[in-house]
Chain A
Amino acid sequence: MRVFAVVERVSEGINPVSFELLNLANMIKMGGTSEAVVVGGADRPLLDSISRSADKVWVLKGGQLEEYNPETYADVLVQFFKRETPDVVLLGSTSQGCELAPLLAVQLNCPVVTDVVGVTVAQEGLVVSRYIYQGKLMADLRVKRLPCVLTVRQGVFKEGARTNGELKELSLAPSKPPRRRTVRVVAPETGEVDISKSDVIVAVGRGAVSSIQLAKELANVLGGAVAGSRPVIDSGLLPKDRQVGISGKTVKPKLYLALGISGAFQHVVGMKDSELIIAVNKDPQAPIFAVAHYGVVGDVQEILPSLLSKVVEEKRK
């Protein structure tokens, strides 16, 4: 199989997920090739680092490709894939990958599956695994025909074989100017507390909004910070810089207390490396229990008052 990984350039170089895509490509190529595609080019050290994980590295260069634009990128990628006939095209399950995947799938007339965490090559097509219901269930899906486009969840395919790929440069220009234009990229706002520096985080999810005041008090007594999952931030109960997760902050405190948080991947990405994770959730099926070290199946409204008073008592000793 010819498995292509579309490399994602970011301001600091390459999104680490790109190497994970190549690891996956090497796992499923089955006597074929793993090939990286870099749109817009990159400097030599970066290309060399990519070539250590790919059998071939394609560098697509041309006007209008320096900055990411979904339309120009998809345009040259479609031209390229019509020439090079992939079996599988891999993209990161990122904000860029999410946009490129439908553009490529429709223009190449092939099936697409997003946020894949497992791939096996089947007699006909592929079987891919992914979470559904926000992490509560999994599905094995048969992709009946190839080529196909897959976006791959970050952090899953971390280990891979080393190869030493050759570099190939190609000049390709978008066939038409993009209709969508980027005006500017805006950096996150910073507030008075940086939760990524806090040793203790009391995190409030949608299931604990009615206990937010107690959560704040507990954070206070523990000398930590209160943070929240996305719905809590969305509803304005906590400022944006207190959001933990993929579109918020990554934290690694000594203690992460997750109150009424379901454990959707987009949240978990931001807190899974915390030293001690304790989750309180009334749903025994909540995916947060798959990342927590200790869990309490129960109602936050019943447990939090007891916990707060016990902690206060302990502190007084």
Chain B
Amino acid sequence: MRIFVLVKHAPLLESTLRVSADGRGVDPVCLTYDINEWDRYAVEEAVRLKEKYGGEVIAVSVGVNCDATLRKCLAMGVDGAIKVPVEVGFDACQVAEAIVDVLRGEMFDMVLSGFMSQDANNALVGGLVATMLGIPFATAVTRLSVEKGEVLAVRELEGGYSEEVLLPLPCLVSVQSGINEPRYVSIMGIKAARSKELRERVVALREPAVVVERIYFPPTRKAEILGGAPSEVASKLVKLMKVKGVI
């Protein structure tokens, strides 16, 4: 099987966030980046499919600074990596088009993506890429197998429900967290993967139809914050619990 997996080099949410001076972005100084959480599951799943059915996995990432994430994918067992060195904004269609430009000339059986990115939270790129390529897709997939040339995917629905769907190949699957346990990559592993190929593919971007006007902190901070040393805080919490009648 030839599988493409889409990955984003995304800011970690543990960072203390600051709005940038122009009010339209997040101050990059306060951010640290890594592979997007959902994409880590997608890469792991792609590598497992390759280990089971043979073939090749290629990671694709859009962004000027995504080398570290692509190297991590290579260390996780991906065979090749394609970097699309363009700066994209918030418009998910623009990102999807850049990826589709890369995939159009390629043969593949499957495309895997993460369900969403931890920064933009659009949950769109997978579905857009599939629709632009004209292949069927399933989102929020928590279990995946390939049988007789078809993909059996378990899609998560609301409230603990799920549905099983069958998709012919080629297709796209957007992967939900928890589908697997992504393997650990050591610094040594990343170093060892240096010999693997990281190609660049330049594409022309279309004008974005969705642009950021303003970024800001959400207006509400409802909670009353209880301060003090741990034991003081604990006493205050116990008092609250007593008032509520749970102690």
Listed in ascending order, the chain A residues whose CB lies under 8 Å from chain B are: 71, 94-95, 98-99, 101-103, 105-107, 110-115, 127, 130-145, 148, 178-189, 199-200, 222, 224, 230-231, 233-235, 240-241, 243, 246-250, 254-255, 262, 275-276, 278-279, 283-285, 287, 289-298, 302-303, 305-307, 309-311, 314-315
Contacts and interface: CB of A to CB of B under 8 A. Distances in A.
Nearest to A178: B136
A315 B19 CA distance: 46
A275 to B, nearest CB: 7
A182 B157 CA distance: 13
A183 B152 contact: yes
A137 B217 contact: yes
A178 B163 CA distance: 16
Contacts of A284: 225
Interface stretch (B59-67, B71-79, B197-205, B237-245): B237-245
A185 B162 contact: yes
Give the interface size bracket for B toward A: 35 or more
B103 interface: no
Nearest to B217: A137
B158 A247 contact: yes
A142 B212 CA distance: 6
Given A103-B127, A295-B224, A144 B211 contact: yes
B195 interface: no
Contacts of A314: 238, 242, 247
A307 B240 CA distance: 12
Given A187-B161, A233-B178, A255 B241 contact: yes
B226 A296 contact: yes
A297 B247 CA distance: 23
Given A138-B215, A311-B247, A111 B91 contact: yes
B161 to A, nearest CB: 6
Interface of B: 11, 13-14, 16-17, 19, 26, 90-93, 118-124, 126-128, 130-132, 136-140, 152, 154-168, 171, 177-178, 181, 208-218, 220-227, 230-231, 233-235, 237-238, 240-242, 244-247
Nearest to B92: A112
A200 B237 CA distance: 14
Contacts of A289: 221-223, 225
Contacts of B226: 294-296
A137 B17 contact: yes
A136 B128 contact: no
Contacts of B167: 179-180
Contacts of A303: 230, 233-234
A144 B223 contact: no
B11 to A, nearest CB: 8
A131 B92 CA distance: 15
A298 B72 CA distance: 32
B225 A145 contact: no
B108 to A, nearest CB: 16
B16 A285 contact: yes
B155 A285 contact: no
A26 B124 CA distance: 26
A285 to B, nearest CB: 6
B247 A139 contact: no
Contacts of B220: 290
A137 B218 contact: yes
B246 A200 contact: yes
A306 B166 contact: no
Contact of A115 (B121, B157, B171, B246): B121
A106 B132 contact: yes
Contacts of A110: 209
B238 A143 contact: no
Contacts of B164: 182-186
A138 B224 contact: no
A254 B223 contact: no
B26 A137 contact: yes
Contacts of A187: 160-161
B13 A306 contact: no
Contacts of B209: 110-111, 143-145, 148
Given A105-B128, A137-B26, A289-B223, A143 B210 contact: yes
A278 B89 CA distance: 37
B153 to A, nearest CB: 9
A254 B217 contact: no
Contact of A295 (B122, B225, B231): B225
16 contacts: A95-B157, A99-B138, A106-B128, A114-B121, A114-B123, A137-B215, A139-B212, A143-B209, A145-B209, A178-B136, A181-B165, A278-B240, A283-B14, A291-B222, A296-B225, A307-B238
